Structure 1
Amino acid sequence: MAPGCRAPEGPPECWRRTAFNNNVGVAYECLSASGRKKKTGLDGRTYSELLKRICRDGEAPEEVVAPLLRKIQCRDHEAVPLAVFRAGMLTCFVLLEFVARAGALYRLLEDPGLAVADRHVGQAVLDTLEGALQASDDTAPARYLEAGSRLGPDSLALAMDRALVARRPSAPMTREEFLEKAAALFIAKVKPVG
Structure 2
Amino acid sequence: MAAVEKRRQAVASAASRAAVAAADSEEDFLRQVGVTEMLRAALLKVLEARPEEPIAFLAHYFENVGLRSPANGGAGEPPGQLLLQQQRLGRALWHLRLAHHSQRTAFNNNVSVAYECLSASGRKKQPGLDGRTYSELLKRICRDGEAPEEVVAPLLRKIQCRDHEAVPLDVFRAGMLTCFVLLEFVARAGALFQLLEEPALAAADRRVAQAALDSLEGALQAGDGANVPAHYLEAGSRLGPDGLALAMQRAAAGRRPCVPMMRDEFLGKAAALFIAKVKPVG
Normalised TM-score (structure 2): 0.60
Q: Partners in 1 of 2:205 and 2:187 — Cα distance?
A: 20
Deviation at 1:16, TM superposition (A): 1.3
**Percent identity at matched positions?**
81
Name 2:133's counterpart in structure 1.
46
What is the deviation of 1:148? 6.3
Please name the residue that 2:244 is paired with: 156
Match of 1:77 in 2: 164
Q: Cα RMSD (Å) of the superposition?
A: 2.6
The aligned counterpart of 2:259 is 171
Kindly provide the CA deviation profile for residues 45-95 of structure 1, in whole angstroms up to 9, marking residues without a partner as x.
000000000000000000000000000000001000000000000000000
Identify the structure with bigger relative contact order (alpha carbons < 8 Å, sequence gap 6+).
Answer: 1
Q: How many residues align?
A: 183
- State whether residues 189 and 270 of structure 2, in contact with CA within 8 Å, keep that contact through their aligned partners in structure 1: yes
CA distance in 1, matches of 2:187, 2:101: 23
The superposition leaves residues 114-143 of structure 1 with CA deviations (integer Å, 9 ceiling, x where unpaired) of 10000000000000001111122135xxx9
Counterparts in 2 of 1:1-194, with a 5 A limit? 16-35=103-122, 37-139=124-226, 147=235, 151-194=239-282
* Contiguous gaps of at least 5 residues in structure 1: none
Output the CA distance in 2 between the equivalents of 1:190 and 1:53: 19
How far does residue 153 in structure 1 lie from its aligned partner after superposition? 1.0
Query: Is the 1:131–1:150 Cα contact (8 Å) retained in structure 2?
Result: no
Shift of the 191–149 alpha-carbon distance from structure 1 to 2, 3 Å rule, reads closer
The 2-side partners of 1:171 and 1:155 are apart by 25
- Gaps of at least 5 residues in structure 2 are 1-43, 49-99
CA separation in 1, counterparts of 2:153 and 2:114? 23
TM-score w.r.t. structure 1 length?
A: 0.86
Q: Which 4+ runs in 1 deviate beyond 3 A?
A: 33-38, 147-150
Alpha-carbon contact 1:48-1:74 (below 8 Å) kept: yes
Contact 2:159–2:280 under 8 Å retained in 1: yes
Tell me the amino acid that sits aligned with residue 162 of structure 2: R
CA shift at 1:29, angstroms? 0.8
Please state whether the residue corresponding to 2:103 is helix, strand or coil.
helix
- Per-residue CA distance 1:147-177 (angstroms, 9 max, x = gap): 5697121011011011011212210000000
Q: Where does residue 26 of structure 2 map in the other structure? A: none
Higher helix share: 2
Indicate how the Cα distance of structure 1 residues 127 and 33 shifts in structure 2: closer, same or farther if over 3 A, else same: same
CA contact (8 A) 1:47 1:85 kept: yes
